Amino acid sequence: MQGKLQQVGKGQPGDNFTIGDMVQGAMQREKDAAKNTASGLYRRARNFSGDAVIPPTQTLAKIDELATGLTANAPTGGAPKAKILQDIASDFEKTGLTIDSLQAQREALSTRLSTAGIDPTREQARLMAVLDVAGKELEAGLAQTNPRAAAALKRANAEWSDHMKFREEVAKTFEGTAKNQLSAENAGTRLINMITKQGDANRFA
């Protein structure tokens, strides 16, 4: 990543807005491409898994553990997050663990956070960890009866994890958060500072 940033810095001189706009555009293209790759891998895993449904035992236990802790911290804003977890648990109890139900929960999480007035950029990664548990449980369940589907799902889950890590650790640096979006000019300034002064550039080495 640092090499890519330095390549941008060695390009044609430009104002901070133009540089930032270019970087933010590249970030969005990278996110879209990674998401499309993961979606394709999940479709492949779904074709292998057929109608397999895995009981969400470990997932529900993890949700209950986290929701209980958040409810205990209700004065600090834990209750809305606990409610989201309880809704996820209710959905999984109805559908069981399937590739479709897992992806549906992942895609709905950002909307659920926004509806509850919670900044998705700040909280999504923490709550997404629950769905990582669901993904691992689904992998393990499929491995018992359909190793080919389990292997395909494992690859898809790894790609999704990389996609989310990129969004959390890299893209947010140049895009800001949902409630505090970074302007193109500020993104350009941040990039230039990282290249010329090193700054946080080593994070992306």
Q: Any idea what the Cα angle at residue 129 is, between residues 124 and 132, rounded to 5°?
A: 125
158 residue type, one letter: A
- The span from the CA of 204 to the CA of 167, in Å, is 13
Q: Cα(17)–Cα(163) distance, rounded to whole angstroms?
A: 26
- How much is the pLDDT for 13? 46
Please check the confidence at residue 122 and state whether its pLDDT lies above 80.
Answer: no
Beta bridge partners of 176: 181
- Residue 164 is predicted with a pLDDT of 77
Please give the model's pTM, rounded to 2 decimal places: 0.72
Alpha-carbon span 106 to 81, nearest angstrom: 15
Measured between alpha carbons, how far is 139 from 77 in angstroms, rounded to an integer? 33
Q: What is the pLDDT of residue 5?
A: 46
Mean pLDDT of the chain: 81
Give pLDDT tens digits for 1-37: 444 444 444 444 457 888 778 877 877 787 788 788 8
Angle at 180 between CA 161 and CA 170, to 5 degrees: 30
Mean pLDDT value across residues 70-95: 85
Contacts by 169-177, CB closer than 8 A, 24 or more apart: 169/203, 170/1, 170/27, 170/204, 171/27, 171/30, 171/31, 172/121, 173/200, 174/20, 174/23, 174/24, 174/27, 175/24, 175/27, 176/121, 177/119, 177/121, 177/122
Helix axes 78-95, 120-145, angle to 10 degrees: 30
Would you say 31 and 163 are in contact if contact means Cβ atoms under 8 Å apart? yes
Q: Which of 33-37, 83-87, 111-115 has the highest mean pLDDT?
A: 83-87
